[in-house]
Amino acid sequence: MGVRCSKFSFCWHLKPSVLQSSDPENGEKNPLPSFREFKWEELKIATNGFSSDNIVSEHGEKAPNVVYQGLLENEKWIAVKRFNKSAWPDSRQFLDEAKAVGNLRSERLANLIGCCFEGDERLLVAEFMPNNTLAKHLFHWEDQPMKWAMRLRVALYLAQALEYCSNKGRALYHDLNAYRVLFDQDGNPRLSCFGLMKNSRDGKSYSTNLAFTPPEYLRTGRVTSESVIYSFGTMVLDLLSGKHIPPSHALDLIRGKNFMMLMDSCLEGHFSNDDGTELVRLATRCLQYEARERPNAKSLVTSIISLHRETEVPSYVLLGIPQGNAECSQPLQLTPMGEACLRMDLTAIHEILDKAGYKDDEGIANELSFQVWTKQMQESLDSKKHGDAAFRAKDFTTAIDCYTHFVDGGTMVSPTVYARRCLSYLMSDMPNEALGDAMQALVVSPEWPTGFHLQAASLFSLGMENDAQDSLKEATNLEAKRNRN
C-alpha cells in the first residue's frame, strides 16, 4: 500500500495524471470521451453549488448565460455554461443541437463533452481552458505584450478551427470575438465550442456593438458563413493592433496607405513589413462589404500558414506562461484545514487536530477492542494518553516523546498519532521528521485528507512549493469526495 504524493524521490508510486484532450483525427492516443448527458446534481456538485466564486465568464453574474469552472469526480476540470431560464424552451431542440456540436472533436476547439436538461435547466459542458482568453492576453496583458509569432499562431489555429467546423457542416459561428478564443494547458489557442450552438430564444448572434457587426447581418438579422469570415477579419485587426478597432476606421487607414498606424507599437522591430502587409491584406479581404467577395476558411489557412514563424517553439513559451500550469493554477475551494496549511498557520492546524480528536481512527479502535489486552498495550495507551495531554497543552517536546513511545511499542497503529506527532515536529522546526510522519499516516490511511494536508504543510516548510500544492490539491479533492458521499 503506497502513499500517493507528487514528485519527490522517496514516494513509492505516483498518481496517474488526468488524460489530456486530443484530436482523434490527428492520431492522438487519448481521445476525449464521447458526448454524454450529465445530471444536474452532478454539475451542481462540480461547480460548488454554482458558486459565484466559480464563475469564469467575462461579465460574471450579470451575463444572461453564465460560465462556471467545475471539477468532476474523476478530477477532470470542465467549463459549464448555464443558460438563462427563458433560453431553449424546447428541450429536444437543445439536446439535438448540443449533440451535433458534441460530435465535433478537434485540438483547435475547446470541445463540447456533454449537456444537461432537467426542468427549466439548460447547461452545456466543455473542456476547461485554464489560461484565459485572447482578450486578456491581447488587450489586458500585465507582464508582456503578445509576441508577433503568437499572434500569427492564434490567427492560424483559429482559421484551422473554422475550416474544421466548415468541413463538418458547422460553418456558422455566433459572435466570433477575442473572448471566444481560449488558451489550453499548453498555451495553445482554441475556439470555444459554445459559439457553434444555434441561436437560442434570448441569445444574440452578435454583440450589441454595431461597429463590429457584419453588414449583411444588420440588413437581414441572419448569420451566414461569410459573416463568420467578416468577424475573423475584425479579429485579425485585433491581433495587428492590440486594440479593438472598428473595421470602418481600420479600413480608412488602410486605404490611405497608413496601415503602419494600425500596428501595435509594442511590436515595433519584431515583424517584417512584408508579413504585416500580407496580414493587413488578408483582413481587408475578410472585411469586404459584399459577402461573396470574402475568402472562405480554407483560403484563410493557406494565406496564414505561409506567414507562420517559429513553428518549433511551444505555445506556452510564446505566451510567456509556465509549462503545464493548468492543474496548479486552478483556484481550489480549500477547507479551513487547507487554508491553514497554505498559510502555514500551525496554531490553526493545532486547533483543528485537537478538536477532531480520533474520529478517523474509529475502525482501528473497533479492531483493537477484540484483542487481548496486555500490559504492553496498556503502556502504549498510557503513552498516547500522556502525549494527547501534552499536545493539548502545546508541550510539543513531551508530545513527541510520548507519541514516539506509543509508535515504537508496535502493538497498535494510529494515523492520528502520526498526524499529531507530525505537527509537533513542525512546531519544533523539524520538517523532515514531520514529512516522514505525514507519509506514515497515509500508509495507514491512504485516502485520509488530513494526511495529505499535513504532507502539504511539511513540504511548504521544506520549501517544496510545487509538491506541496499537489498534496493540497489531493487533500481538497478527497474532502470534496467525502462530502459527496
pLDDT in tens, 8-50: 322 322 222 223 333 434 334 446 778 999 999 999 999 989 9
Closest to 315 in 3D by CA, of 191, 188, 147: 188
**Highest-scoring range by mean pLDDT, 22-31, 199-208, 442-451:** 442-451
pLDDT of residue 296: 96
Does residue 202 register a pLDDT over 80? Answer: no
pLDDT of residue 172: 92
Fold of 332-484: 1.25.40
Beta carbons of 81 and 124 less than 8 angstroms apart: yes
> What is the C-alpha separation between 322 and 465, in angstroms, rounded?
14
pLDDT of residue 193: 95
pLDDT of residue 34: 86
> What is the C-alpha separation between 244 and 257, in angstroms, rounded?
20
pLDDT of residue 199: 63
Instruction: Encode burial over 197-230: b for 16+ CB neighbours within 10 A, e otherwise.
Output: bbbbeebebbeeeeebbbbbbeeeeebebbbbbb
pLDDT of residue 63: 63
Does residue 171 register a pLDDT over 90? Answer: yes
Give per-residue pLDDT as tens, 60-112.
565 668 999 999 988 889 999 998 877 888 889 999 999 999 999 999 999 99
Q: How confident is the model at residue 200 (pLDDT cuts 50, 70, 90)?
A: low
Q: How confident is the model at residue 328 (pLDDT cuts 50, 70, 90)?
A: very low
Instruction: Encode burial over 30-66: b for 16+ CB neighbours within 10 A, e otherwise.
Output: eebeebeebeeebbbbbbbebeeebbbbeeeeeeebb
pLDDT of residue 444: 87
467 included as an active-site residue:
no
Does residue 379 register a pLDDT over 70? Answer: yes
pLDDT of residue 469: 83
What is the value of pTM for the model shown? 0.64
Residue 422: how many CB atoms within 10 A of its CB?
31
The architecture CATH gives domain 32-127: 2-Layer Sandwich (3.30)
pLDDT of residue 417: 93
pLDDT of residue 59: 65
pLDDT of residue 374: 63
- Structural domain boundaries in the chain: 32-127, 134-328, 332-484
Facing residues of 68 across strands? 55, 80
Does residue 56 register a pLDDT over 60? Answer: yes
Q: Label the pairing between strands 4-5 and 77-82.
A: unpaired
> What is the C-alpha separation between 357 and 380, in angstroms, rounded?
18
**Which residue did the predictor score with more confidence, 485 or 473?**
473
pLDDT of residue 10: 27
> What is the C-alpha separation between 290 and 246, in angstroms, rounded?
18
Does residue 332 register a pLDDT over 70? Answer: no
pLDDT of residue 383: 86
> Mean pLDDT over all residues of the chain?
83
Closest to 47 in 3D by CA, of 330, 384, 462, 432: 330
> What is the C-alpha separation between 477 and 448, in angstroms, rounded?
11
Using the structure block, give the residue that is written with the C-alpha cell 480549500: 334
Q: What are the distances in angstroms from CA 7 to CA 13, 186, 452, 469?
A: 9, 20, 14, 11
**Which residue did the predictor score with more confidence, 167 or 310?**
167
Fold of 134-328: Transferase(Phosphotransferase); domain 1 (1.10.510)
Does residue 281 register a pLDDT over 80? Answer: yes
Beta carbons of 316 and 329 less than 8 angstroms apart: no
197-211, 270-284, 454-468 — which is least confidently predicted? 197-211
Using the structure block, give the residue that is written with the C-alpha cell 459577402: 291
175-189, 290-304, 443-457, 464-478 — which is least confidently predicted? 464-478
Q: Which of 53, 120, 143, 175 is catalytic?
A: 175
pLDDT of residue 13: 25
Does residue 364 register a pLDDT over 80? Answer: no
Q: How confident is the model at residue 183 (pLDDT cuts 50, 70, 90)?
A: very high
